[in-house]
């Protein structure tokens, strides 16, 4: 889980990346993060049953670096117990979630607001409906896709006359294995232009593009695109809602 250091969960507060063991077993764990196409271990150790383990403190400006995680778990107990198979899960978290207040909830495990990501099935009745998880069956479904990726833009929340468009690549296409960074960027810019044209045709008042922070390349390319249009204004979207990860376009 990601725990806000600020009880009011301000968008500027850092987040504590924490593992919580709610099972009746003790757990050996390894937590890795994706870097340049490979996974790098950032923490490993032992978590006793009913305990938490703080991994590291993360500023919200660098949260995108922890969007793709891999966790491996090995369960054991010194008392009589039923054997439990090890767990290996890949987790994908949309960084925009960390700037939305209603994604942080009170849990029985910590006293501060937390964005919880369940890794395994729990025996209790705790409600994890607000959490985001990317289970293995999604990866299996992706393997069934054709080798040539198809753009399958997910429905966006549109409240005319304002549009909000998420340009994170995993919101646009399901399978981008083997695609270069240039190809991914082209998909994002093409989608950006198409949605901008739709907003103009619909006489929308405003459109907000959620692009994240990252290296800044996507934002730069969006600005280049917007500069080719007349009679529009664009600027950073409200920090209180999006952090540094969005651009607001006023259509006149």
Domain boundaries along the sequence of the chain: 2-138, 146-251
174-191 residue pLDDT tens: 777 778 888 989 999 999
Residue 196 confidence (pLDDT) above 90: yes
Residue 130 confidence (pLDDT) above 70: no
Residue 155 confidence (pLDDT) above 70: no
* 8 Å CB contact between 11 and 117: no
Exposure class string for 199-230: b at 16+ Cβ within 10 A, else e: beeeebeebbbbbbbeeeebbebbeebbeeee
CA 3/CA 104 separation, integer angstroms: 8
Q: Which fold has domain 146-251?
A: Ribosomal Protein S8; Chain: A, domain 1 (3.30.1370)
If pLDDT is split at 50, 70 and 90, which confidence band does 248 have? very high
CA 178/CA 231 separation, integer angstroms: 39
CA 117/CA 93 separation, integer angstroms: 9
pTM of the model: 0.48
CATH number of 2-138: 2.60.40.1600
Average pLDDT of the chain to the nearest whole number: 79
Tell me, what's the pLDDT at 11? 72
The mean pLDDT value for 11-22 works out to: 85
- In the block, residue with structure tokens 């008392």: 79
If pLDDT is split at 50, 70 and 90, which confidence band does 82 have? confident
If pLDDT is split at 50, 70 and 90, which confidence band does 133 have? very low
Residue 127 confidence (pLDDT) above 90: no
């Amino acid at each position: 889980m990601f725990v806000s250091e600020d009880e009011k969960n301000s968008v500027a507060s850092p987040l504590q990346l924490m593992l919580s063991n709610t099972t009746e077993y003790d757990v050996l764990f390894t937590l890795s993060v994706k870097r340049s196409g490979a996974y790098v271990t950032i923490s490993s150790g032992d978590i006793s049953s009913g305990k938490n383990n703080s991994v590291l403190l993360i500023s919200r400006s660098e949260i995108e670096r922890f969007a793709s995680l891999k966790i491996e778990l090995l369960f054991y107990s010194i008392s009589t117990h039923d054997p439990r198979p090890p767990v290996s899960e890949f987790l994908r978290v949309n960084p925009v979630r960390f700037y939305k207040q209603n994604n942080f909830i009170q849990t029985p495990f910590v006293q501060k607001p937390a964005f919880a990501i369940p890794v395994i099935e729990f025996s209790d009745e705790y409600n994890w409906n607000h959490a985001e998880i990317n289970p293995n069956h999604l990866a299996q479904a992706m393997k069934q896709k054709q080798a040539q990726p198809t753009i399958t833009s997910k429905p966006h929340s549109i409240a005319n006359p304002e549009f909000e468009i998420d340009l994170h690549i995993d919101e646009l296409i399901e399978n981008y294995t083997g695609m270069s960074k240039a190809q991914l960027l082209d998909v994002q810019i093409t989608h950006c232009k198409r949605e901008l044209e739709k907003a103009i045709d619909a006489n929308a008042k405003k459109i907000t593009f959620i692009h994240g922070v990252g290296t800044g390349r996507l934002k730069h390319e969006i600005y280049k695109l917007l500069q080719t249009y007349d009679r529009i204004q664009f600027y950073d979207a409200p920090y209180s809602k999006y952090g540094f990860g969005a651009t607001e376009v006023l259509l006149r």
